Every structure is written in structure tokens, then in C-alpha cells.
Amino acid sequence: MPDVSLEAARRRTFAIISHPDAGKTTLTEKLLLFGGAIQLAGSVKSRKTTRSATSDWMALEKERGISVTSSVMQFPYAGRIVNLLDTPGHADFGEDTYRVLTAVDSALMVIDVAKGVEERTIKLMEVCRLRDTPIMTFINKLDREGRSPIDLLDEVESVLGIRCAPVTWPIGMGQRLKGVVHLLSGEVHLYEPGRNFTRQDSTIFASIDDPQLEARIGAAMLAELREELELVQGASHPFDQAAYLAGRQTPVFFGSAVNNFGVQLLLDFFVEHAPAPRPRATTTREVQPAEDKLTGFVFKIQANMDPQHRDRVAFMRICSGEFRAGMKAFHVRSGKEVKLANALTFLASDREIVETAYPGDVIGIHNHGTISIGDSFSEGEPLQFTGIPNFAPELFRRARLRDPLKLKQLHKGLAQLSEEGATQFFRPLMSNDLILGAVGTLQFDVVAYRLKDEYGVDASFEPVQVATARWIRCDDARTLEEFRDKHALHLGIDAAGELVYLAPSRVNLQLAQERAPGVTFLATREHA
Ligand code: G4P
């Protein structure tokens, strides 16, 4: 039997964070190529556009040219098992992305050399910061004219507040791009469009002192490079493993994903230095990956991936122990044993039945709505993993039904779709309204489309006087009762039965908070 601690130690589970268009899809595809997971560059991209959609509602995603769902891709590389958790790229799907980031051990940040640090990168970085997630950086599109590398590092340091440790350094850029220098090994890798797929297929010099380098890039450029390297080595931070693991320093790589240049240097460094699964906190104790009993938590639910089966798949990140096909696991929230019969892995992005899986891996569990985001699994111990937040939505709409006889289906549809986590569903205490909250407007279109497609309900969403929501906590029963009486008009219940204050305006929220000092208003709710 494989040793759990050895299997855990060779896992690298990560996500790519970037602003749309920086090159995440392209880089993903190249990484899979190195992992031998795909034969042809282009297949990740073509999935978006040409391959038949997995289910009908994904037609919407295709129409919009965005990725609504995130998937998991596993590939072996250099003796390691790499799990790449895809994050939805569109700005509207924030919450889903945030939760994916709770399931990874590190992240890779992609920055466009011409655009530098962009708005979405800043937001994602804030999320990584909550857990001190270690981050590597890839500055992409070096084959195009961009900003000066030193400028970019300055920007990362000042805007994102993380120190940069360049590991590779570019020789030229755009038309003048000649290659990169590996600052730790000293090697020079030349840029030769159409080549560079493997080391064997690249021209590599042992150092910048190799006489052939001057012949290839010219004396002037070499002199410029020497000067720049001196400056960089004087001014930047040397790579420091501990600072990287603590999320205080980011190793930086330069390259061009579309030309597959600089990518293998990144991947080699990544599998060597990125963290294996680390201990995880629960409400009762810290779980070590090498423990022999299986534990894990659900960070994502996706319904109806296959319209033939109308199944729901819960994505569980394994935190300890070994998963074996057919084993029974304890579903902590319901207190029931669940047989994990045909769990899925996502090897090369195609779903396959998995026999075994280890800490860091993600498995997909079929279910009919019994499993929710944030649920924990174990082999009997009643532990609950913490840190999987439910964010207060920022946009609210009232569901309007065209056919009143379909109210029951509407209820069911809204409740089930909100279980996936992208939207939240509220019922005010004092009215029969059904209110949907989301982080982005596009979600309402997605829900309307899916209600029709999957539940046969024709509904639309109209504006409602709700500006923001807060989960209410109060230990004192009397204070809570008084609060309920006084504010019944603005209170509702969420899908999990929790009390929520639906504020008609920010000012109203502030006043309500000031007038109820004994009551706590939470902007996030931990899945419990
Ligand atoms: P995303 O997932 O982060 O949104 O970015 P994606 O990989 O889709 O890349 C966005 C665009 O940038 C694509 O061009 C892609 O080809 C291009 N790109 C990615 N890496 C590089 C690079 O290293 N150099 C250059 N010059 N371009 C790069 P597109 O025109 O939107 O799509 P396509 O028609 O080229 O596929």
C-alpha cells in the first residue's frame, strides 16, 4: 500500500490567479502539455469554443465567451503529482474563485508585461493573503513590447505588498527578445520561436560568460544585460524559501506562454519549491496530511454536468489519509455514512473513475443535493474544517414567476442552485418574496437560464430594495428576540435557515448596527 505521507509530500495543488486576458488559459495548456496530459497545444482553448458543451446551460457560457465553471486538472511531472484547480476568469464569479483558493496550497499569479498589476489581480491577491498562500509570479507576453521589468517588480511590491525575488530575468523584450537568464543556476536560455518545447529542443548556455552568447545576442546587448543584472542583484531580494512559504515573497519568472518560452523553468522550480499539502484547521484540532484516516472538505458543487444523468458533483479536497473507491465516509453535517462509490478525478480535464486519491487531490462525489459547500468528511471523527467563507452578496433581485403554478419548482430550483454557492437565496420573514443575492449581475441571467432549462420554470428577476446583507449572531436570547421584533421588516432566512438582516441601504445598516450593540452583524458566514 502506498505510504500516505510520501503520496502527500509529492502533491502540488495550486490555482492560477490573473486578470482576464493575461494568459491563464494559454499557460494552463502549456503546463498540461509538459505533464503529458494533453497531446496538442490548443485543446484547452478549443474546449471553450469548439468541443460540444458538457451540458446545455453551458451554451450560455459559450455565448458569453466566459468560463462559468471551474475544473480540476491533474498531471504527473518530475515525480510529482500536480493538481491545477481552475478558477473562473470572469469578474462576476468572485465567490466561486475565492472558495477554490481555500482548497489550494499555493497560487501562481500571471501578469501581462504590458499591463502590469490589474484590478482583478489585486482582489485575488487579497484573498490569498487571508491564508498567507505562497505565490509564484509569471510575467507573460514577453514577445510583445511591455513595461521595464524593474518597473513591474516595483509595481508588484508596492501595489500588492509582497517582495519580489526574480528567478529568471529577460534578455530584451518584444522584437528584441533574446532569452532569459536563470539567476540561481546562471543558465541562459535562448528564445527561439517555434522551439523551446523541452530542454533538448532549446539552446542553453551554462552562463552569460559563454563566448557563444555574445555571438548570438551581440556585444552591445550583452553589455546592457551585465549592467542590468548587476543592478537587479543589488536591488532585489534573493530567493528565500521560508519567506515564500510564509507568503511574504514571490519568486518571479519571465516568459511567453503562447511561445512556450520560460514555462518549463517555472514548472521545474514550482514542483521543487511549492508547498505540498499542509496541516489544516478544524473546529476541534489541526489535521496533518500524513494521518492515515481520510478527511476532506467540499469547496464547490456543480449541478447537472451531464444532462443525461442530472447529477450533482461535490468537489472535495482531500486533507489527510487515503481515499479508496467504494469506501464509506462519514458526512459530518448529517452524521451519516456515505458510500463513495464512483468518485471522479479530473485527469487531463476528462472525468474518470478514481481508484485511490491522496491529500492535495480533489475528487468529485455524485449526490442528489445532500452535500453542500463547506461540508466535511472523515472516517467517523466529527470534525469540521474551517475557513470556507460565504460572502455577503452585493446585488439583490426578487424572483418574478410568469406561471404562478410553478411556485414549488421555483423554490426548489432557487434552493438547489444556491447550494452551488454562486448565488444565495433569502426569504424575508414578513413577505412571500423570494430574493436572490449574487456577487455579479451575470449570475441572475445564469440562474434564469438554468431555471428554465433544468426546472422548466419561466422566471425573471426584478429590482428589490435591498442594498446589502449581514448574518445575525446574538448569544442572548432576549436581545435577539427584541431585535427580531423591532426589525422584522428587514429580516430574512437564508437557504441554511440562518437569520439575515437585509438592509435597504448602507445608512440603514449602519443605524441598525449602532442601535443594537448586543447583536453581531457578519459580512461572511462560515459554512457550517
Ligand atoms: P486568459 O485565460 O487569462 O483570459 O488569457 P488567454 O490565455 O485566453 O490569453 C489571452 C490572449 O493573450 C490570447 O489572445 C492569447 O493567445 C494571448 N497570449 C497568451 N500568452 C501570450 C504570449 O505569451 N504572447 C502573446 N503575444 N500573446 C499571448 P487572443 O487573441 O484573445 O486569443 P487567440 O485567438 O490568440 O487564441
pLDDT at 339: 86
Ligand 1: distance of its center to the CA of 444 in Å?
Answer: 28
ipTM confidence score:
0.97
3-state helix, strand, coil in the chain (%, to 5): 30, 30, 40
Ligand 1: distance of its center to the CA of 21 in Å?
Answer: 6
Instruction: Establish whether residue 19 lines the binding site of ligand 1, counting it when its CB lies within 6 angstroms of any ligand atom.
Output: no
pLDDT for 325 beyond 80: yes
pLDDT at 70: 40
C-alpha cell at 248: 511574504
Closest to 428 in 3D by CA, of 490, 471, 368, 370: 490
Query: Stretch 115-137: mean pLDDT, rounded?
Result: 91
Ligand 1: distance of its center to the CA of 61 in Å?
Answer: 19
Instruction: Establish whether residue 18 lines the binding site of ligand 1, counting it when its CB lies within 6 angstroms of any ligand atom.
Output: yes
Q: Indicate the range of 121-125, 259-263, 376-380 predicted with least confidence.
A: 121-125
pLDDT for 420 beyond 60: yes
Q: Do residues 128 and 108 make contact, with C-beta atoms less than 8 angstroms apart?
A: no
Give me the chain's average pLDDT, please. Answer: 86
Locate the ligand 1 atom nearest the alpha carbon of residue 20 and give its number. Answer: 4
* Pairwise CA distance, residues 196 & 218, whole Å: 21
Which domains, ranges and CATH numbers included, belong to the chain? 16-65+89-273 (3.40.50.300), 280-378 (3.40.50.300), 392-526 (3.30.70.3280)
The residue whose CA has the least distance to atom 9 of ligand 1 is 23
Question: How far, CA to CA in Å, does 95 sit from each of 73, 124, 375, 417, 526?
Answer: 20, 11, 17, 14, 13
E runs forming strands in 115-155: 135-140
Number of Cβ atoms within 10 Å of the Cβ of 265: 22
Q: Do residues 117 and 155 make contact, with C-beta atoms less than 8 angstroms apart?
A: yes
pLDDT digits (tens, 9 = 90+) for 190-235: 999 888 777 778 899 999 999 999 999 999 999 999 999 999 988 8
Q: How far is CA 35 from the centre of its chain?
A: 20
pLDDT for 453 beyond 70: yes
Edge-to-edge strand order for the sheet containing 312-320? Answer: 336-339, 328-331, 376-378, 295-303, 312-320, 362-367, 344-345, 352-353
Closest to 130 in 3D by CA, of 423, 386, 472, 418: 386
pLDDT digits (tens, 9 = 90+) for 169-192: 999 999 999 999 999 999 999 999
Closest to 187 in 3D by CA, of 258, 264, 79, 244: 264
The pTM assigned to this predicted structure is 0.80
pLDDT at 39: 44
Instruction: Establish whether residue 260 lines the binding site of ligand 1, counting it when its CB lies within 6 angstroms of any ligand atom.
Output: no
Confidence of residue 65 (pLDDT cuts 50, 70, 90): very low
Confidence of residue 41 (pLDDT cuts 50, 70, 90): very low
Instruction: Establish whether residue 145 lines the binding site of ligand 1, counting it when its CB lies within 6 angstroms of any ligand atom.
Output: no
Instruction: Indicate the helix (H) or strand (E) that contains 58.
Output: helix 58-64
pLDDT at 306: 56
Confidence of residue 421 (pLDDT cuts 50, 70, 90): confident
